[in-house]
Amino acid sequence: EAGVTQFPSHSVIEKGQTVTLRCDPISGHDNLYWYRRVMGKEIKFLLHFVKESKQDESGMPNNRFLAERTGGTYSTLKVQPAELEDSGVYFCASSQGLAGSITGELFFGEGSRLTVL
Amino acid sequence: AQSVTQLGSHVSVSEGALVLLRCNYSSSVPPYLFWYVQYPNQGLQLLLKYTSAATLVKGINGFEAEFKKSETSFHLTKPSAHMSDAAEYFCAVSDRGYGGSQGNLIFGKGTKLSVKP
């Protein structure tokens, strides 16, 4: 069974440019999460999809970030325009149950490292 | 609000020695607690979780953690370290969906474990 896959693994862009990160969750997982880790800091929640609907986007930093989940399958996270402070590793995770629930186990991708110069 | 503190961003032990990674949490409701591990060039994977059953939880690869409510701790231990245990370990807390929340995970900053031959 394929795990969670993320693309690209590493992206280097200049300030002001646009980047789109993609996540393919495990088939059948309705819950999809995006997290971000800035170097040396905690892994922070960005948003949560249940199927194609945004369940919670309270962690999105600002309106430069746009996440979508087409048809409840793969998800994209677009940063436009990128700023220096957006640099970090963006993790996608999927689960059958809710992340913090008794049945929830998050399966993570390897992450997409974003470097904004 | 929930929070997690991991003492020590970097822990080094000798092969065969005891591994102790510390985690203290703050939660206004009975929490669920998790340990995730990230091996080099891989995504995070669940090591073990506490969901209010037994306070001593056994996980994969010989790791275990004990929930101590009086100390608000959930330290991770392994009696004998192996070279393959070298990784970064993350403690996480969830409010498990109380008060209408989504039961999202709040992560600590992570602890990198090095194992010396």
- Residue-level pLDDT at A60: 93
Rounded to whole angstroms, the Cα distance separating A112 from B81 reads: 30
| pLDDT tens-digit readout, B82-115 | 999 999 999 998 866 555 556 678 899 999 999 9
DSSP state of A38: -
**DSSP class per residue in B51-115:** -SS-SEEE-GGG-EEEEETTTTEEEEEESS--GGG-EEEEEEEE-TTGGG----EEE---EEEEE
Mean per-residue pLDDT of chain A: 92
Tokens of A28: 């059948």
A105 contact residues in B (CB cutoff 8 A): 46, 49
Q: Measure the CA dihedral B29/B37/B61/B83, to 10°.
A: -140
> Largest Cα–Cα distance of chain B, in whole Å?
49
More confident residue, B102 or B77: B77
pLDDT at position A70, please? Answer: 85
A41 contacts B109? CB cut-off 8 A:
yes
Chain B contact probe: residue of A32, A55, A56, A102 with most B CBs at under 10 A: A102
Q: Is any Cβ of chain A less than 8 angstroms from the Cβ of B96?
A: yes
The answer to whether B97 contacts A101, with C-beta atoms less than 8 Å apart, is yes
Residue A46: how many CB atoms within 10 A of its CB? 20
Does B104 contact A56 at a Cβ distance shorter than 8 Å? Answer: yes
Distance of CA A24 to the CA centre of its chain: 10
Taking only the tens place, the pLDDT of each residue in A20-61 is 999 999 999 999 999 999 988 899 999 999 999 998 898 999
pLDDT of residue B6: 96
Confidence of residue B30 (pLDDT cuts 50, 70, 90): confident
Average pLDDT over residues A78-88: 96
